[in-house]
Amino acid sequence: MDSVMARSLKVAVIGAGAAGLVAARELQREGHLVVVFEKNSKLGGTWVYDPRVETDPLSLGPRREIVQSSLYSSLRTNLPRQIMGFLDYPFQKRENGGDVRTFPGHQEVLSFLNHFAQQFQLVNLIRFDTEVVRVERVNGRKDQWIVESRSCASESEMEVFQAVVICNGHNSEPRTADILGT
């Protein structure tokens, strides 16, 4: 461990998409105790396809069912596979005659993230189906945070962490222009 690293911290990572998985791996490599909160039943964030659509196409209705996936079934990345990977974990072309196109489809990105999480033993750090509903400092302290979460199986739980990394993305709710008359 680096001499700058004085102690191990208990760290909450919110979101098990690409950013959350990389954050969890790096924090774990530095010797921290990591807990990843993922509100869905699968890791992968925006890359998890869900064929359902919201009843409100603009996602403005407060009582609508929220569908977290923002992608469509034929989505391909807008980045070439050569730069989709991580420095020490490159995004490889599929073996066995798979898709060799430069811009991979969402299924391939999700597969990449699942393999990454398995290889670095990140899956056991993830609390699936657990939504973070509140994060705030403990009595104004800068070194302790209360993370309140709610899972499908239990009531709300509160836990204290020394650091919080928010990796929940921004693609689950559309941003719409406020245009007069619409």
Say how far apart CA 42 and CA 53 lie, in whole Å: 18
Domain ranges of the chain: 12-166
Smallest CA-to-CA distance from 31 within 56, 1, 66 is with: 1
The reported pLDDT for the residue numbered 112 is: 94
Residue 3, pLDDT score: 47
Q: What is the pLDDT of residues 50-108, one digit of tens each?
A: 888 777 777 778 887 777 766 888 999 999 988 988 989 998 766 666 677 889 999 99
Distance separating alpha carbons of residues 113 and 129, to the nearest angstrom:
18
Using CA atoms, how far residue 74 sits from 106, 108, 167, 172, in Å, is 8, 12, 25, 18
Percentage of the chain surpassing pLDDT 70?
A: 88
Tell me, which fold does domain 12-166 have in CATH? FAD/NAD(P)-binding domain (3.50.50)
- pLDDT tens for residues 5-24? 568 999 999 999 999 999 99
DSSP 67: P
